[in-house]
Amino acid sequence: MMRYAYYPGCSAKSTCAELNHATHRVAASLELGLTELESATCTGARELRAIDPIGFYSLNLRILALAEQDQLPLLTVCNTCTLNLLDSNAAFQEDPSLARAVNKCLAAEGLCYKGTTRISHFLWVLLDEIGEDNLRRRVVNPLTDLSVAAFYGCHLTRPPIRYGFVDSRNNIAIEKLARVLGCKSIDYSGRMECCGFHTAAHNEAIAIKLTGKHIESAKVNGAKAMVTPCPLCHTVLDTLQREISKDVGKKLDMPIVHLPQLVGLAIGLSPEELRLDRHVVPTTPLKSYAYRPEKRR
């Protein structure tokens, strides 16, 4: 059994609670042991890292220290959290005076970060640590005929300085995964684009304008659902879809699924277990892909 310290982040604990739930169910089915870091804080999103860098590094390195204390790699499910943690870890390695200052601050809790925690997003765990072959063996319900559009979001692909191991202009990790799950992935305009979440709390118009054409493109190219590895992208694409729809002047009705939910369907979990009913845009079109053991497709 592979064990991880699990950091869900703020979104998966609130507006995307279904992601947290689905991650736990899928991890259990794939025999991943998750120890949730109960006392972990927010990583600071884009706001804290801009206006209070020292506070930002301290919060992130504290999360890494908590995982290190348990001697576990850290599993994340949010793009922005992943990048924040990776950036902080890099700053810790590069700037000894920052490392000393943060550890002095963490000492009040009896923590001391040594710099050994490995950070892994759920997408990478599926592809690189479980591996395509092992995952394929778990697929009891190949999602044949389901066309999905991958929406990667920014912070799992850019900046290139942090993600040298992927082609930031043509990440294909989700497409690879989709193939393992038996479904088709379509090409469209939004794969590598931004959802605008980080300005949405004070100016929704940016997010609405940025995403409309991409959801439309996914629909035109035949996607029955869009799949994203990031709860922040999900929030924009799902929660704001009514407004986005109004802005492009067309009915979009595009179900947006979290990555673990798509995996869950293919390994035989039910839509209810994956909380597919907790989305704002109904996921009814996905119901017909649910696992029915009596009549295997």
Partner 1 sequence: MTTLLEPDELRRRSDSDSLAARNSILQPGDAIYVQIRRFDSSTGMSRFQPFEVPYQKWMRVLDVLNYVANHAAPDLAYCWFCGSKMCGTCAVRMNEREVLACWEAVEPIMTIEPLHNLPIVRDLVVDRAPYERKVISFEPWLERSKPYEGFPEPLSHRDMKNASKALDCISCMACYSACPVVRLGELTNFAGPAPLVQLAQTVLDPRNDQAKIARSLERTGIFNCVSCYKCEEVCPAKIPIVTHVIEPLKAKAAQLVPAMAQHAITFRAIVVRRGRIDPLELVLRLQRFRALLNVHRAVALLRRGKINPLVTIARIRSRAAQAATRILQTGKLR
- Residues in touch with partner 1 (CB under 8 A): 10-11, 13-17, 38-42, 44-55, 58-59, 62, 87, 93-94, 105, 108-109, 154-155, 158-161, 168-169, 193-194, 196-199, 201-203, 205-206, 209-210, 239, 242, 277-280
Least CB distance to partner 1 at residue 51 (A): 4
Closer by beta carbon to partner 1, 58 or else 141: 58
Phi and psi, residue 227, nearest 5°:
-120, 135
Closer by beta carbon to partner 1, 181 or else 286: 286
Least CB distance to partner 1 at residue 27 (A): 21
Q: Which long-range contacts (CB under 8 A, 24 or more apart) does 266-273 make?
A: 266/139, 266/140, 266/141, 266/142, 266/143, 266/181, 266/182, 266/183, 267/26, 267/29, 267/30, 267/138, 267/139, 267/140, 267/141, 268/29, 268/140, 268/141, 268/293, 269/25, 269/26, 269/29, 273/22, 273/25
Least CB distance to partner 1 at residue 2 (A): 26
221-230 residues labelled b (16+ CB within 10 A) or e (exposed): eebbbbbbbb
Least CB distance to partner 1 at residue 17 (A): 6
Two tokens, residue 32: 């991943």
Closer by beta carbon to partner 1, 126 or else 234: 234
Closer by beta carbon to partner 1, 272 or else 277: 277
Closer by beta carbon to partner 1, 84 or else 185: 84
Least CB distance to partner 1 at residue 80 (A): 8
Least CB distance to partner 1 at residue 200 (A): 9
Q: Whose CA is closest to 39, among 126, 110, 90?
A: 110
Closer by beta carbon to partner 1, 163 or else 291: 163
Give whole-number Cα distances, 84 to 157, 272, 277, in Å. 13, 32, 30
Q: Name residue, tokens 């479904």.
A: 183
Two tokens, residue 203: 């100016």
